[in-house]
Structure 1
Amino acid sequence: MRQSRTPVFLSERRLPIGILLGVLLAGAATSAAAQHGIMAGDIDRDANACTDFFQYANGSWRKDHPIPDYMDRWSRRWESGEINKEHVRDILTEVSAKSDWPAGSADQLSGDFYAACMNEPAVDALGMKPVEPMLAAVRAIKTRADVEKQIGAFHDVGINVPFGIAGFEDLHDPTQTIAHVFAGGLGMPDRDYYLKPEKRFVEAREKYLAHVARMFELAGADADSAKKSADTVFAFEKRLAEASLDNVALRDPSQQDHRTSFADLGKMTPSFDWGTYADAAKIPRADLNVTEPAFLAQFERELAKTPVSDWKTYLEWHLLNAAADTLSKPFVEENFAFNGRYLTGATEMKPRWKRCAEATDNQLGEALGKKYVEKYFPPAAKARMQDMVHNILLAMKDTIVGLDWMSAETKAKAQEKLATFNPKIGYPDKWKTYAGVKVGRDSYWDNFVAASRWNVADNRSQIGKPVDRSRWGMTPPTSNAYYNPLQNEIVFPAGILQPPAFDMSATDAINYGAIGVVIGHEVSHGFDDQGAQFDAKGRLSNWWTPADLKQFGDRGQCVVDQFESYFIEPGIHHNGKLVLGESIGDLAGAKLAWLAYQKSREGKKPEPTIDGFTPAQQFFIAWGQWRGDEIRPATQRTMIQGDPHPIAKYRVNGPLSNLPAFQQAFECKPDAPMVRTGKERCEVW
């Protein structure tokens, strides 16, 4: 379900429905025990590292470990993420076993939320009953004023249709939080699913219409009425899609920079009472940013011209869409049939405990995060990560100094930005309290709404205030990382700092090759085609000379051209502009981590060759084994369409084929497929 289209430069941070640590130089102690190298048994000995490193590094593991029916991709990296959910489950099982925790405590909130979700017989017995009050409110709509009121009621609980509002940093003064108005309101992944003529999109539209109709039937409509309602929903969403930016445009912050006064917002959409909305939402009547003015113009046309009956149908659909996974089995299964089985290719739903663990983390992640960190992220791990981050930032500093294409003026600005990087590792210093959230064991949907309402209000409470830099956009158990250009921060939750990405018993070569490349990737996001538009203070501001900016663009075009040549099947290839930022991140990340690994060994005894693999080979194999996902064809098609990340094969082979250090480590000949030379070799940083 996609309720709002957050710009990619903000999208890795959680929105309100789910939403100054400096680099320390503490030396991280390593285990006294023997350190292990790469997973030698994962390697496909029949493959050639210089021909297809993705197959070589982990082909045997993928052959012996097919994608589980409930997953859309699989690798040691994804297996680690699922094991992490087992850790979360163990914590939640423990706290949910006790029902007399102090009301409002972290244990009571997370335990009762999880327990209510896990009580599937009770959820099934309730059927649609939990959502009926909100559904009745939608069905009672009679006027346009009622439509506006219902939009506000939806936004209060994180159902961001047909648009959304959230508090984020001001693009030009990131010390302040302002409201950003986002486009939303689509039930399919993005605008192209509604508009493009290719066969796969035509098929998706047919499947979607059938899915929407089936959901209306589950809500009580007869077949004919359900079909008419689905047609109404699709026509409505198609008009919104036509007014929406595409995925490439969404990557450009300058296209979403439209600071607007509150008075002018009212002029953009005179049919909407923004004053009443803002007062009810407790949002100040102040300047804000409208990311897509053309979308708001279409919203105005819908308010002025679309019959109230169509609005009711559209809003009812999005309520059902938002609630489906919290309701009885027929709704859950139908939601999976389209969003899971069709769009990803998964053939089974995840076990209920996993879905409940994910939901608890999404909604109350900092309530369970303290226990997670206590069990799975010791102080020694944080210290070692801090040391790695320090070395990778030094590697970036040296890289900037050594650039032969950048002027001294721009280098000084780049170094200024690098010096203000703020790493956050493991967990926040200040935890959310979730004060006032009421969670019980009677209704999963009611708990979901209560937590969503709190998270939305928490986000809104920041609007009009100085930015609180202690806040995190991901929960501690999250197996992911992000870069926030507006705060110039790189963030690594404890959930990603687990084996095989980060392992206290692994050699430095392994850790730098796995989590080290991830660190370098996030650092380089500050200098990719998006991050390079933000200065040392996080402002959307050009700090480049014209000549240097042209050089930077030309080097980025090399990456665009490289990825345009990568096909997932005949006729379907990567959109180089869509994946440019992530691909620059992988390319620079691998280079920076390699340089930092070498720096980390200065003055130390060389690490040993293990299982016949040199430390250099271990470094690169670690990246191939960490990033080496097997991905279902349906998921690949969805990713190609809208994901700014390339598929795993090309996240492994793409950047490494540009690195001379890789060629040297595996003694690849100059004409090998994994070696790009001359003008074909890409190097941005």
Structure 2
Amino acid sequence: MPKFPINEALEKDDLYLAVNGAWLKTAQIPADKSSTGGFADLADQIEKILMNDFADFDLGKQTTTDPYFAQFMKYYRLANNLDKREADGFKPAQAFLDKVRNLKDWTDYQDKLPDLILSGYASIIPLSLDPDMKNTQNYALYADVAPLILPDKTYYQANHEQAEALLEVYRQMVTKLLDLAEYDAQAGQDLLKKALDFDRQLAPHQKDSTQRADYTKAYNPYSLTDFAEFSQVLDFKAIIEKLLGSLPKKVIVTEPEYYQHLDELLTPENFANFKAWLEIKSLLAVSPYLTDQARVTAGLYSRALSGSKEAMNPQKAAYYLASNQFDQVVGLYYAHKYFGPEAKADVHHMVEKMISVYKKRLLANDWLSPATKQKAVVKLSTLGINVGYPEKLHPLYTKFVVNENLSLLENDLNFTKIALTEYFQRFGKEVDRTRWGMPAHMVNAYYNPSFNVIVFPAAILQAPFYSLKQSSSANYGGIGAVIAHEISHAFDNNGAQFDEFGNLNNWWTKEDLAHFQELAQAMIKQFDGLETEAGKVNGKLVVSENIADAGGLSCALEAAKGEDGANLKEFFENWARIWGMKSSLERQKLLLSIDVHGPHVLRANMQPKNLDDFYTTFDVHEGDGMWLDPKDRVNIW
């Protein structure tokens, strides 16, 4: 995203438009994307760089001695071999689909479910392994809910303004795909009708996105015996023992109400509906690996959701298929070539400095009691820092060996089985805290509450977030605020419930927790009902990210002020710049419904209003658009 002239006269009324307005007038969203600017621009740049590099490797202009990257290139060539994919048609998918078509009844499904799970099929009882929230050194078995077709439970409520239009797109997509796969027209429509019927039955007893945003409420441990009693149709113990090779003492149920009503779905009469639902989900899952027409058709619904005008071209789609399968291999290639140890050390030092500033602020906090303050400082002092890229490749990738005599899909299904088998074999082993949840070429960052670690992949560590060509104040308004944002997640309404070991454990005094919850409620109130062109903001849905934004910006501001030659104008302007984005209206509406992050315009404009330094820096007074009455300003960290 290139820098455009800033309209300084507008900064008092709308910081976001003052900084980004000139760019917004000319910015064009790529036809195959739903947004441009900020994070999206960096992702597009990396996409272009890596696609050019991989093309050179494909043509022999570059060579590699890395055996894992060599396997990636074999897979990349398979993904790009459109002639072979066209000639194979839907043939590579038949065995995968036949496993669903041949299911006889619920007993047969129960017997085959462990293998179906390991093979990557959708499940009516999604099982996963994650650190036990109350003992994060060990893995626990979690039972989640089956995925819905529409983005959220609220879309299934009567008279939802978008639901029927989206379902019609879904119907058209599946109908076209069934035709490509040479299903009988009438049989295909019957299959689709049954699948949609089953999907609608899944929604009533699931949580909506706002409820899921309070993710600690997903921790509902049941003894294995009690969990097994949820169903009289499926033998959960038999399924789990076959999947894990042993029986856990407990199962964490993310949404108990779903399981309390599960047997209402598992009737003999409903099996045909379930089977249709599973077959269509399976067909959609494999279509991107088949002909290019199948790939484009299978993306119609997701493009309707996001507002993308057209599908990616075949070469770009092949890049994403391959780089997603070998994500950590590609990430290390990118990081070692384009980031390097010097930048890694520099940013690591910046993170340490931000932690130091945060610690100072915690110690000076005027509403925490000494007992809670001490616990908070301990948690901060043990915070793990991952910058740039992991030190070594995970051993899983040594098992990804491409068979060039097989199709792209067959290789992908083999890799899925390898990865999921390794995943479920972790049960009973100590949690691996070194494994990164994002590859180095992803433009993002995260805090993991179970590990108490913050992670900054190499891709985000560039302008406008960070550059040696920017002033330190601009860098603090960019990557500094992002770093402190992730630190703040350790103390948001969810993260604050985990201790320094990553365990769900209340370390607050009763009075401090009550006051913190009042401040969180004030943050909810500040954002709730704010108008955007896509609709109103749900303050409760976005509260955790807003707390992290507020803490991050406030902490980064203090760090910037501690530098020689601090320029707070550049600090706030770069904060607004990193949120510069133009998105389709469809994407904005979708995110308002399901995303825990606030709209980018409000992230840029609202948090500065909470900081006194913003008012003195830009000489903002009552009557100006950026003015917020002091009594309405929220400061937590």
Indicate whether the TM-score tops 0.5: yes
Matched, 1:414 2:376: yes
Q: Which residue is equivalent to 1:639?
A: 591
* SS at 1:486 equivalent: coil
Equivalent position to 1:317, from 277, 280, 283: 280
CA contact (8 A) 1:563 1:576 kept: yes
* SS at 2:43 equivalent: helix
Structure-2 separation of matches of 1:188 and 1:218: 24
Structure-2 separation of matches of 1:244 and 1:258: 15
Structure-2 separation of matches of 1:628 and 1:101: 38
Matched, 1:335 2:287: no
* SS at 2:440 equivalent: coil
Paired residues for 1:178-327 under 5 Å:
178-286=140-248, 287-327=250-290
* SS at 1:307 equivalent: helix
Paired residues for 1:599-618 under 5 Å:
599=562, 601=563, 604=564, 606=565, 615-618=567-570
Q: Which residue is equivalent to 1:5?
A: none
* SS at 1:645 equivalent: coil
What is the Cα deviation at residue 440 of structure 1? Answer: 3.4
Q: Which residue is equivalent to 1:375?
A: 337
Listed as ranges, the gaps of 5+ residues in structure 1 are 1-37, 608-614
Listed as ranges, the gaps of 5+ residues in structure 2 are none
Structure-1 separation of matches of 2:246 and 2:11: 58
**Residue deviations 1:432-454 (CA, integer Å, cap 9, x gap):** 13233232344221222222222
Using the aligned pairs only, state the percent identity: 27
* SS at 2:140 equivalent: strand
CA contact (8 A) 2:560 2:568 kept: no
Structure-2 separation of matches of 1:534 and 1:45: 43
Structure-2 separation of matches of 1:666 and 1:315: 57
Matched, 1:628 2:580: yes
2:449 partner letter: P
Q: Which residue is equivalent to 1:123?
A: 85
Structure-2 separation of matches of 1:322 and 1:347: 21
* SS at 2:266 equivalent: helix
Equivalent position to 2:401, from 438, 446, 453: 438
2:629 partner letter: T
Matched, 1:167 2:129: yes
1:528 partner letter: D
* Alignment TM-score, normalising by the size of structure 2: 0.94
**Pair 1:196–1:507, CA change in 2 (3 A):** farther
1:322 partner letter: A
Matched, 1:450 2:414: yes
Matched, 1:550 2:514: yes
CA contact (8 A) 1:109 1:439 kept: yes
**Residue deviations 1:512-541 (CA, integer Å, cap 9, x gap):** 111111111110011111111112221112
**Residue deviations 1:469-519 (CA, integer Å, cap 9, x gap):** 111111121111111101111011112223322223322122211111111
* SS at 1:491 equivalent: strand
**Pair 1:618–1:306, CA change in 2 (3 A):** farther
Structure-1 separation of matches of 2:245 and 2:177: 34
- CA RMSD, 1 decimal: 2.4
What is the Cα deviation at residue 309 of structure 1? Answer: 2.2
Structure-2 separation of matches of 1:649 and 1:667: 21
Q: Which residue is equivalent to 1:583?
A: 546
* SS at 2:29 equivalent: coil
1:467 partner letter: V
Structure-2 separation of matches of 1:456 and 1:47: 56
**Pair 1:309–1:189, CA change in 2 (3 A):** same
Matched, 1:387 2:349: yes
* SS at 1:159 equivalent: coil
What is the Cα deviation at residue 265 of structure 1? Answer: 2.4
Equivalent position to 1:520, from 469, 484, 488: 484
CA contact (8 A) 2:529 2:538 kept: no
What is the Cα deviation at residue 626 of structure 1? Answer: 1.2
Stretches (4+) displaced over 6 A:
99-104
**Pair 1:531–1:373, CA change in 2 (3 A):** same
* SS at 1:303 equivalent: coil
Q: Which residue is equivalent to 1:653?
A: 605
Structure-2 separation of matches of 1:385 and 1:205: 46
What is the Cα deviation at residue 115 of structure 1? Answer: 1.1
Matched, 1:403 2:368: no
* SS at 1:391 equivalent: helix
CA contact (8 A) 2:34 2:307 kept: yes
Matched, 1:678 2:620: no
CA contact (8 A) 2:122 2:281 kept: no
**Pair 1:210–1:299, CA change in 2 (3 A):** farther
**Residue deviations 1:584-619 (CA, integer Å, cap 9, x gap):** 1111111111112223x2xx4x26xxxxxxx21111
**Pair 1:252–1:104, CA change in 2 (3 A):** same
Structure-2 separation of matches of 1:554 and 1:353: 51
Structure-2 separation of matches of 1:296 and 1:593: 44
Structure-2 separation of matches of 1:102 and 1:619: 42
Structure-1 separation of matches of 2:317 and 2:606: 34
2:69 partner letter: D
**Pair 1:447–1:59, CA change in 2 (3 A):** farther
Matched, 1:136 2:98: yes
CA contact (8 A) 1:138 1:315 kept: yes
**Residue deviations 1:162-189 (CA, integer Å, cap 9, x gap):** 2322221111101111222221232232
* SS at 2:150 equivalent: coil
Q: Which residue is equivalent to 1:54?
A: 16
After the TM superposition, which of the residue ranges 347-356 and 553-562 deviates more from structure 2? 347-356
CA contact (8 A) 1:95 1:108 kept: no
What is the Cα deviation at residue 270 of structure 1? Answer: 3.4
After the TM superposition, which of the residue ranges 226-235 and 342-351 deviates more from structure 2? 226-235
Structure-2 separation of matches of 1:400 and 1:663: 24
**Pair 1:597–1:291, CA change in 2 (3 A):** same
1:653 partner letter: N
**Pair 1:99–1:619, CA change in 2 (3 A):** closer
What is the Cα deviation at residue 98 of structure 1? Answer: 5.8
CA contact (8 A) 1:183 1:292 kept: yes
Matched, 1:592 2:544: no
CA contact (8 A) 1:186 1:237 kept: yes
Q: Which residue is equivalent to 1:463?
A: 427
**Pair 1:294–1:420, CA change in 2 (3 A):** same
After the TM superposition, which of the residue ranges 376-385 and 254-263 deviates more from structure 2? 254-263
Matched, 1:560 2:535: no
2:230 partner letter: M
**Pair 1:160–1:312, CA change in 2 (3 A):** closer
* Alignment TM-score, normalising by the size of structure 1: 0.88
CA contact (8 A) 1:410 1:548 kept: yes
Q: Which residue is equivalent to 1:154?
A: 116
CA contact (8 A) 2:27 2:582 kept: no
Structure-2 separation of matches of 1:124 and 1:76: 37
2:593 partner letter: Q
Q: Which residue is equivalent to 1:666?
A: 618
**Pair 1:209–1:194, CA change in 2 (3 A):** farther
Equivalent position to 2:451, from 476, 487, 490: 487
Q: Which residue is equivalent to 2:463?
A: 499
* SS at 2:183 equivalent: coil
Q: Which residue is equivalent to 1:355?
A: 317
After the TM superposition, which of the residue ranges 671-680 and 485-494 deviates more from structure 2? 671-680
**Residue deviations 1:375-405 (CA, integer Å, cap 9, x gap):** 1112121111112111211221122222222
What is the Cα deviation at residue 54 of structure 1? Answer: 1.0
**Pair 1:100–1:374, CA change in 2 (3 A):** closer
